[in-house]
Structure 1
Amino acid sequence: MVAIHTTSFTTTNVILDLYSSPPSAGFVEALREECNRVFANYGGSWTGDAASKLYRIDSTVKESMRFSSFGMVGMTRRVSASDGLDLEGNVHIPQGIRLGIPVAQIHCDEAYYPSATTYDAFRFSRAYEKSNGITSKVNGSTAEQSDPPTKFQEREDLADRKHQQQQRIPLTRGGGTFLAFGTGKHSCPGRFFAAHEMKLMLAYLVQHYDVEYMPKRPAQSHFMEVKMPAKSTTIRIRKRQP
């Protein structure tokens, strides 16, 4: 994890976001349930297929990449055409000008993400699991079933599922509203390896360790257009008993 700063920053942010969320949300317990279930279903081995079934783990990493973007501005480019670049609205950009996308602002835009300033670990997996009948069993009991939805609720749920599925898992799938890996043909080519690395690390963490919850998420430090976990941040952690 510490070999490359991008995965180091991201995985650290995942841990800080997850363990500063309210314990009552049950994120860690639900992640642990998913990991244990998938791990058992694949004969106790983390294969590529098994990792692809870690929907909540994937969502947790992706949500942290959205919520705690370490790049304020991304996909910077310099206009190389000698006659510049003409955009819609009669906007002309001369040669040599550098352009960038306000990644952090897009990731926290309420138009794309309801309650955008709130960390929700299962933002990208909840609707998918619901539409595919995946139930969670946490602390020995299954989630209670709600009353049958009304026609209005069904339409709302369908619209929500379509919205979620456009942006949902896997976290390697970028787009106009999730730009952590860039977008288009120049998206990060290493994102598939990085995603597996971070997902398996989080899976191992929740399966084998207890991390003490933090009352407040430690603030990030700023350097130019980059936000990174503060070097002074500490956590308390212990090995889980078998």
Structure 2
Amino acid sequence: MASYLNTNTQTTLSPPRPSWVDLTNFGLPSSMETSGYVPFLMAIILIASVMTVSLRKNKLSAFPVINASKNEYLMSGRAMLARGLEEFGGKPFRVNTGLGGGVIILDHSVMPEVRNDARFDSTKFLLQYWQAGIPGFEPYIALGTEILHNVIKWNLTPAGIGMSSWELGDSQFSFTDLDMILAKLNKPLSDEANAALSDILTDNEEWHEVLLGDVIIRIVARVSSVIFLGPELCRNPDWLKITVNYTNKATNAAKVLRRWPVILYRTIHWFLTECREVRTMLIEARQIIAPILEKRRVEKAADPSLEYHDALDWYETAAKRMGVEYDPADQQLALSISAILTSNDLMSQSIMDLCKNPEMFEPLRNEIRSVLGDGQWKPTSLYNTKLLDSVLKETLRLKPVAAVGLGRRVMEDVRLKDGTVLPQDSGIAINAEKMWDPEIYKNPRAYDGYRFLRLREASEQGEKTSQLVSTSPEHLGFGLGIHACPGRFFGANTVKLVMCHLLLKYDIKLAENTNISPLEFGFSMLANPTTKVLVRRRKEEVNF
């Protein structure tokens, strides 16, 4: 769901070598075994490194830095962005993130230049924050591989029925086409959602307290795993524990690693408990998946027509079609990261928003009853839950997962139309303040669950641009352009389906004195993981 994918990214555990490492350019002998060459070699590398960094710093010096230390960025990133907008009046400025030259924050007016330009790479921007090349973080590298992009595109997006990547990125197509693609998944998703809610929230008709983020991520993990891994693993407790915990553990390990100088990353990670935990989880994931895949390969060798209809099989098909090898555990955890992290965050925050606006519960239930009254999932069932769609999009507008959008790595020097030169290898992002702009949204800081429903009903263009999975310069929840999150279609489908079950089958309210403020870290804005709610089972109204 988040905008993680880029077909141009190579599957490699190490960043590409800078050109100056090619020593043949200096006329050195091919063999460097003689110790006398070593000091000369080290001096050349040191000088070249200093020159490269110095030149890059000179180019970056054109952009004023708003914060002196990375700690200010980590602790108050969103407030710092607002201050930069006011202080520099829309002109570019730089945030010191503690990595490389930081991030250049650009005004929203440059979005048309950035969103579909291949010289700006979203995956390479992401990987600098997820420790590319550090053992245990391989699933984050997998997020940028072509095979993952194709598995999603060929099976879970309109591109699977012939839509172009531009249409996919900017969401200009009929969503009924998408509903037809996803409808075949809804029955197994619905059955697992029903079972997961009963197991995790229980059928207790008395109010009882639960930790919201904990129960939602477990529900989302189980439901998503039906499609990702099939019946063998979707309820496997060891696998579910890994999928639920890997993202949190990796996020925490990355935070701990960032406390150290970048130059020490490749050494210090071996000694950090948090990084060891991530490596161990990845080893365990491989041990769980390997025998399942081996069993399937034997079965398919005996019967080539055999199909399994899940992502394990999609990967096998894609690998043969593309002629590539892949690591199944890395790829499955990458799918889990992209689906579970953002789906859990959106669903958790949406529930908090509904609890703060309880007048929305009954209209939503009425809509779900009208759509699913006969208990049957139709191709257009979720498409017709338009109020629910609006509610989710409003939550994503008020609290996206990040206070910036269109995070990109600049692959070569780029001159913008206003004359701004963005240096090669610099990081850029767009301030997301337009999502809270009174010139675009009436009462932009206030929650309005009907906001996007009204926009859909107002015009034909509104019908196209105001749906949850639609992208636009005014709503960067799922990115924009060629790097807009392709997994958003499946993620939105899953969240809406689970919400239908939850709203009809449970009453829910905030626990007394619970904290619902988003957790902010750097540019990230995450649903508060400590929020507690009270739930109780409702009487069955619709059997679906």
Which has the higher Rg, Structure 1 or Structure 2?
A: 2
For 2:345 and 2:510, locate their aligned partners in 1 and report how far apart those are by CA, in whole Å: 19
Distance 2:478 2:531 in 1: 26
1:27 is matched with 360
Q: Distance in 2 between matches of 1:233 and 1:74?
A: 26
Asked if the contact 1:209/1:237 (under 8 Å) is kept, the reply is yes
Instruction: Judge conservation of contact 1:19–1:214 (CA < 8 Å) in 2.
Output: no
TM-score when normalising by structure 1: 0.77
Is the contact between residue 59 and residue 125 of structure 1 (CA under 8 Å) also seen in structure 2? yes
Pairing of 1:70-81 with structure 2 (within 5 A): 70-81=401-412
* Distance (Å, rounded) in 2 between the aligned partners of 1:201 and 1:97: 40
Is residue 2:390 matched to residue 1:56? no
Deviation per residue, 1:2-54 (Å, 9 max, x gap): 45211111110110111112x3xx311100000000112xx312333111101
Q: Aligned partner of 1:174: which letter?
A: T
**1:168 partner amino acid:** S
Distance (whole Å) between structure 2 residues aligned to residue 221 and residue 215 of structure 1: 19
Describe the shift of the 1:164–1:18 C-alpha distance in structure 2 as closer, same or farther (beyond 3 A). Answer: farther
Residue 37 of structure 1 aligns with an amino acid whose one-letter code is S
2:426 equivalent among 86, 92, 97: 97
Indicate if the aligned counterparts of 2:508 and 2:536 stay in contact, CA closer than 8 A. yes
Q: Pick from 121, 124, 139 the counterpart of residue 452 of structure 2.
A: 124
Partner of 2:480: 183
Alpha-carbon distance, 1:86 to partner = 0.9
Residue-by-residue CA offset, 1:180-234 (whole Å, 9 max, x unaligned): 1111122111111011111111111111111125788710111111111222210
TM-score, scaled to structure 2 = 0.35
Answering whether residue 499 of structure 2 is matched by residue 202 of structure 1, we say yes
Counterpart of 1:9 in structure 2: which amino acid? D
Equivalents in 2 of 1:127, 1:192: separation in Å? 20
Post-superposition Cα deviations, 1:52-77, rounded to whole Å, max 9, x if no partner, equal: 10100111111111111121122211
Structure-1 separation of matches of 2:480 and 2:455:
24
1:207 counterpart letter in structure 2: L
Q: Report if aligned partners of 1:20, 1:215 keep a CA contact under 8 Å in 2.
A: no
Counterpart of 1:19 in 2: which secondary structure? helix
Q: Is the 8 A contact 2:456 2:464 kept in 1?
A: no
Please say which of residues 230-239 and 30-39 is displaced more in the overlay: 230-239
User: Alpha carbons of 1:226 and 1:35: their partners in 2 closer, same or farther (altered >3 Å)?
Assistant: same
Q: Which runs of 5+ in 2 are unaligned?
A: 1-219, 222-335
Aligned to 2:442: 114
Quote how far apart the aligned CAs of 1:165 are: 4.2
Counterpart position of 1:172: 469
Provide closer, same or farther for how the CA distance between residues 237 and 195 of structure 1 changes in structure 2, counting only shifts above 3 A. same
**Matching residue of 1:151:** none
The number of equivalent residue pairs is 203
Distance 1:179 1:215 in 2: 33
**Offset at residue 117 of structure 1 (A):** 0.1
Percent pairwise identity = 28
Moved over 4 A (4+): 161-166, 213-217
Q: 2:372 aligns with which of 22, 32, 39?
A: 39
Is contact 1:19-1:211 (8 Å) kept? Answer: yes
1:17 alignment partner, SS class: helix
User: What do you get for the CA RMSD once the two structures are aligned?
Assistant: 2.1
More helix per residue: 1 or 2?
2
Structure with greater proportional strand content? 1
